[in-house]
Amino acid sequence: MSNFKPQASFITDKGLNQFYGGHRRNRCDINVYPTYTKLKKNMINMLNDSCDESVTVTRSKRGQFGEYYEHWTLINGEPTIIKQGWN
């Protein structure tokens, strides 16, 4: 069974400037966390840093095969999952 650390990817102003300036190959900032709990604790900071106030999380689930994704956004100031499923 494949198990990998949860990661969050989001686009920041700094990342876009570096990408269009030719200093970077990817527009997204990718943060890897040791646990899903630690990722969720930092979610509000990532959403505030994001250009479009959205973060995509990719993770594995215990006892399951495959890659699980979640799209997070701010709704009334609270981090909320708006879409989720299996890749």
User: Which residues fall within 8 angstroms of residue 21, CB to CB, at 6 or more apart?
Assistant: none
Per-residue pLDDT of the chain (87 residues; tens, 9 = 90+): 457 899 999 999 888 888 888 888 888 899 999 999 999 999 999 999 999 899 999 998 887 788 899 999 999 999 999 999 998
What's the CA angle centered on 11, arms 42 and 75, to 5 degrees?
55
- Sheet with 54-59, side-by-side order of all strands: 28-32, 7-11, 54-59, 68-75, 78-86
Give the pTM. 0.85
Q: Are 72 and 81 in contact (CB under 8 A)?
A: yes
